[in-house]
Every structure is written in C-alpha cells, then in structure tokens.
C-alpha cells in the first residue's frame, strides 16, 4: 500500500518577524523528521505572518522573505517542505513553495484572492494561473491556499480531475469567528468527498491585532470522514499516515468522474512536477491519531479571547497589563481573561471609586482581585473630581450637571490607568463590550483609553455567559456571584442603571446583531417583533457613534461582523436608514 506520512505544522507566526518565524519553522521540520514524516506543510504565509498588510508594499520586506526561503532549502534534504511565503515574479504572489532535496522544486500561486470582510488581498497580490501537481513515490499531490478550497469549482477540482491529484494539501490562514469551525469542517468534507481526494488542511493559530486564528487543522478522507485533527488555539504538529490507494479504489466505482473528464477539455494550466524519492529507512509506526471533539461555544470564545490577549501583549513586547476594576461584570471578565492569558503575576488592577460608587462594588472588585491573586490598588477619584468641578464652576456657571460630569469621572480614571502604564510599562486593557461600543455608551478618552479592547466584539448578554462559563470551569465563584446578578451600572450618578440610557440588553443585543452583523434595514428588524421607536433609536445611536469607535482601541474579533477592520463606515455620513 502506498503511504505518505504527512506532518501539518499548526504554527503561531508573528507578522514581520522573519527570524522568529524561521526558527519556529526549522524546529517543526526537525520534529517532523524525528517522526519519519515524508512531507511537512505550514500555514499560509507562515514565513511572513498573516496578514502582512502594507509591509507587502516594501520591496526590502519581499527580498528578506525570499532570503529566508533560500535559507530553508538545506532543510529539505530529508523531508519535503510546503511553505507559505511571498513570491516575486512580474508581480508579487501569495505563494506555497515546495522545497525538495535542497531545491525549490515548484511554486503554487493562490488563485482566489479574498477581498471582503477583513481581507484585502487584491490590494497586494496578483492571481495565480498555473496548477502544479507533484508526483512523489507514485503519489499525486496537489497544493493550494486557503480561499482556493472554498470554491466548489476551484483549484481542488482541477487538480483532482485533470491532474489526477489523490491528496490535496491546503495551507490556510482562516480567522476565527464563533461557529465557523463546524461550517469550515463541513465544507472541507464536501470538497474531499466531491473530488474523491484525501484533504490535508493546515491552519494558522495565534492572535494578530484584531484577528484570531484558531488552528483546528485536520485530515479528511476521500469519503469525507475526519481521520485526524489538531487541537484549537495551540501550536501542534499533526502527523498522519495517508493511504491514497483508497482514493484510486473509490474512483474506480465512480463513472461520473470519467464522463466529466472526457467531455471537458483538459485545463492547460495543469503542470506536472516530478519529485525524486528520498533514500530513507522504513518509517517507525506512529500512534493512531486522536479525533478531538469540537469545543463548546463559550469555551471556544473564551479560549480565543485568552489567546488574543496573550499574543497582543507578548508580540508587542510587553509583559504586564493593567486595567480599571470597577466591581462590574465587564471588567471582571476582562480581568479573568488577562490572568488566564498572562498569569496573575503580570496583571494589576486599579479600583477608582467616586462618591457614586457603591460599597458593594468596591467589595466585589477587591474579592475578585483576591480570588485571582493579582496586584490590587484602590485610588479614590473623589477629591480629583471635586477639584475639577471647582475649577470649572465659572466656565459652567448657570448650567445644570449632566453627562459632562459623568464623563469627567471616566476621564480621570483614564488618566490614572495611563499614568500607571507609563510609570510601570504595563499595557492598558479596556473593558467595554460590543453593546456599549455600538451605542456609544462609553467615554472617549475615558473608559475607552487603552491599547486593546478585549471584549469589544462581545455582546453584553454573552459577557454574562462567559462569566458563568469561567466560574463553572473553576468549580467555584471565581467571579463573585453578585457581579453577575446585579443590574449593570456605570455608577456615575446616584442610583444609575444602564437601562436608564439603553433598552434592556436582551432587546438591545439582537437589534445590534441584526443591524451590524446582518445588515438588516429598519422594517426587517421591526418584523422580528421589536418596537419601532426602540429600533430607530438604537440604529441612530450606532450611526452617530462611528467617530468614537474609530478612535478606540482595536478589539478581538469573535462575531461575523466586528467594528474596525471588518465593518468600515464613514464617520461623516449623511445617509440614514428609513
């Protein structure tokens, strides 16, 4: 039986860190060789990190990436390497290089360049034309890149039908969105089954600014069955023996394939490349790969947020973080995520009560800090706030107190956490959720101050779910129960509640989802059973607060449509729905 021992290197690359990525790549290669792998595949643009964005407009960056590719050639004397890099010909291409016996034996250029949602590949790359199929030890192998596999009639079909590829290796950088893993796995199973190929899919992991890459690399049989998969949100080398004889056997029983191949002219873009065989001793047996279940939704989201915080902080050269801890649910969740990402010794929290802060909130903040084992500081802003008010008395003469005084408190707190950041070199995390960011229920230069908005894409109702999930995982009330059950309040005036300014979150969140994530108009949202006045008010709040969001910190994307890189609306915008 023909066998190809395949290693999928689920790798956490850092954009622009060519030397660091090179070191990781070589370490994976050495481990794959120890496990007697014939071939190792790395994710899309593993050498440069994904997405490199406007680094691609710098010729020296392209040159350096090619130099590191050349440095990898000697590593292919014992194993075939499939590596994502930036190729330069007449233009630049998102490419997969096939390194074999010390040479660059072939290159595949990505054909389908996504230019929607968070993707801008048409801005940088030229589309590929040729479809190489590699012949190694009597096995036909096709290679393509990420988006190429999502099209039913794309390169996978051409390589399998016209190039007789029995194994397709797709190298990918597919960003995480909650629920996407199952959808993606179902698509890959269909693609493998329809084309009667073994499909090896290797995905990037790690955080890159707003984006999280979840991994979940896997091998799927020619019948659409998962043969092996890698864990989510962690680096992993998935080594599996593939048996393409099963592909040939299945194709013998499928007359549809023969007819389609006979009546459609052969694609001239197919090229065949022979890879000489290595002389190597017989491979040692490997353990049967374990098939891991898909993670539970809240565990999946929580893990993504933890990875996003860890990578954002570490990849930007920081070790410690600081945040304001109010005793409310949002800051409690962010604090728990930060501890899980970086360790309690690297997290500091500052409680900044005013005359409007309830004693219970001060107690809850302290209890949470003790439960998490983090550094905790309490700095009252009462005197600072009084000083501001006193100095503004003349300027504000004859005007009643309003949101101005509320925002002053938030901005005093923003100054305190930024002062801590400057003095101790700790990166500031902000704690606003998607419901607040959507409606502008947040203070510019106040609670929006910081380097990373951890839960910027997490709706308020999901914040409650994530807190309950974290407590369940801990087996105790790590986050005090009162934090979860008490009515949300900014505590910027006496007896204030969020519902004084916003609809209840169980109503607000679905309206935001319909408008922001689904692009529904007013009438469509109203038909879902929501009050027209409430819908119009929420939409107006979303529209007029674009200027706030544009100035806010980047946030980790976990929903299908996130603010920032994903949803791009003009600040100056005279169009209003309805």
Same-fold call for 4-275 versus 297-498? no
Question: What is the CATH class of 4-275?
Answer: alpha beta
Neighbours of 376 (CB within 10 A): 17
Which residues are within 8 A (CB) of 244 and not within 5 positions of it... i.e. 6 or more apart?
A: 2, 4, 139, 140, 166, 167, 198
Catalytic residues: 44, 110, 146
Give the pLDDT confidence score for residue 268 in this predicted structure.
61
pLDDT attached to residue 153: 86
Q: Collapse the DSSP code of 488 into the 3-class scheme (helix H, G, I; strand E, B; otherwise coil) and give the result.
A: coil
Q: Measured between alpha carbons, how far is 160 from 133 in angstroms, rounded to an integer?
A: 9
With beta carbons less than 8 A apart as the criterion, state whether 303 and 428 touch.
no
Q: d(Cα 506, Cα 528) in Å, to the nearest integer?
A: 14
Task: Please give the full DSSP string across 312-380, using - where no structure is assigned.
Answer: HHHHTT---EEEE--SSHHHHHHHHHHHHHH-GGGEEEEE---TT--HHHHHHHHHHHHHHT-EEEE--
Burial class (CB in 10 A: 0-12, 13-18, 19+), 115: exposed
Q: Which helix (H) or strand (E) holds 97?
A: strand 92-100
The helix (H) or strand (E) run that includes residue 275 is strand 270-275
Instruction: Encode 381-400 in three state secondary structure.
Output: CHHHHHHHHHHHCCCCCCCC
Q: Which segments in the chain show pLDDT lower than 50?
A: none
Query: Distance of alpha carbon 404 from its chain centroid, rounded?
Result: 37
Instruction: Give domain limits for the chain.
Output: 4-275, 297-498
| Predicted pLDDT at 257 | 81
Q: What is the pLDDT of residue 23?
A: 97
pLDDT of residue 578: 60
The answer to whether domain 297-498 has CATH 3.90.110.10 is no
Q: Which residues contact 180 (CB under 8 A, 6 or more apart)?
A: 174, 214
| Structure confidence at residue 571 (pLDDT) | 87
**pLDDT score, position 106:** 96
Give the pLDDT confidence score for residue 96 in this predicted structure.
Answer: 98
Task: Compute CA distances 101 → 32, 42, 87, whole Å.
Answer: 16, 17, 20
Cα 329 from Cα 546, distance rounded (Å): 25
- Phi, psi of 185, rounded to the nearest 5 degrees: -60, -40
The number of beta carbons lying within 10 Å of the beta carbon of residue 288 is: 10
Q: Is-contact 204 215, C-beta < 8 A?
A: yes
């Amino acid at each position: 039986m023909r066998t190809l021992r395949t290693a999928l290197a689920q790798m956490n690359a850092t954009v622009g860190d060519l030397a660091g990525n090179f070191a990781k790549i070589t370490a994976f290669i050495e481990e794959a060789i120890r496990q007697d792998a014939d071939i190792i595949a790395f994710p899309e643009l593993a050498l440069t990190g994904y997405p490199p964005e406007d680094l691609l407009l710098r010729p020296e960056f392209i040159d350096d990436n090619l130099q590191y590719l050349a440095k990898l050639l000697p590593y292919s004397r014992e194993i075939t390497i499939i590596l994502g890099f930036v190729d330069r010909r007449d233009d630049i291409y998102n490419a997969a290089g096939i390194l074999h016996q010390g040479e660059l034996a072939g290159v595949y250029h990505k054909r389908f360049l996504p230019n929607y949602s968070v993707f801008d590949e048409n801005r940088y790359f030229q589309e590929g034309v040729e479809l190489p199929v590699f012949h190694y030890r009597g096995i036909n192998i096709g290679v393509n890149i990420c988006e190429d596999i999502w099209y039913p009639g794309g390169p996978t079909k051409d390589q399998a039908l016209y190039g007789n590829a029995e194994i397709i290796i797709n190298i990918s950088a597919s960003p995480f969105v909650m629920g996407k893993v199952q959808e993606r796995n179902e698509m890959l199973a269909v693609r493998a089954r329809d084309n009667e190929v073994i499909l090896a899919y290797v995905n990037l992991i790690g955080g890159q600014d707003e984006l999280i890459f979840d991994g979940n690399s896997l091998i799927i049989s020619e019948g659409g069955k998962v043969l092996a998969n890698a864990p989510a949100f962690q680096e992993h080398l998935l080594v599996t023996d593939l048996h393409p004889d099963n592909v040939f056997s299945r194709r013998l029983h499928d007359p549809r394939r023969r007819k389609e191949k006979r009546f459609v002219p052969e694609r001239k873009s197919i090229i065949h490349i022979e890879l000489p065989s290595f002389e190597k001793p017989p491979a040692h047996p490997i353990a049967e790969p374990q098939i891991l279940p898909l993670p539970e939704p809240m565990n999946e989201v929580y893990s993504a947020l933890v990875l996003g915080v860890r990578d954002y902080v570490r990849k930007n050269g920081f070790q410690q973080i600081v945040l304001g801890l109010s005793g409310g649910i949002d800051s409690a969740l962010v604090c728990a995520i930060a501890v899980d990402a970086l360790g309690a010794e690297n997290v500091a929290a500052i409680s900044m009560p005013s005359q409007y802060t309830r004693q219970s909130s001060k107690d809850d903040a302290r209890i949470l800090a003790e439960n998490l084992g983090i550094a905790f500081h309490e700095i009252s802003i009462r005197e600072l706030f009084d000083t501001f008010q006193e100095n503004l008395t003349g300027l504000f003469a004859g005007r009643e107190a309003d949101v101005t005084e509320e925002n002053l408190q938030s901005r005093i707190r923003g100054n305190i956490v930024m002062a801590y950041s400057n003095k101790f070199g700790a990166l500031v995390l902000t704690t606003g959720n998607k419901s607040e960011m959507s409606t502008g229920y947040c203070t510019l230069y106040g609670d929006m101050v910081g380097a990373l908005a951890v839960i910027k894409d997490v709706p308020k109702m999901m914040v409650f779910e994530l807190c309950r999930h974290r407590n369940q995982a801990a087996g105790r009330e790590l986050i005090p129960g009162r934090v979860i059950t008490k009515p949300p309040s900014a505590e910027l005036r006496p007896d204030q509640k969020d519902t004084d300014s916003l609809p209840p979150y169980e109503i607000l969140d679905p309206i935001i989802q319909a408008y922001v994530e689904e692009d529904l108009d007013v009438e469509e949202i109203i038909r879902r059973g929501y009050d027209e006045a409430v819908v119009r008010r929420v939409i107006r709040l979303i529209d007029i607060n674009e200027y706030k969001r544009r100035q806010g910190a980047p946030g980790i994307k976990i929903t299908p449509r996130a603010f920032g890189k994903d949803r791009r609306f003009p600040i100056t915008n005279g169009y209003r729905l309805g």
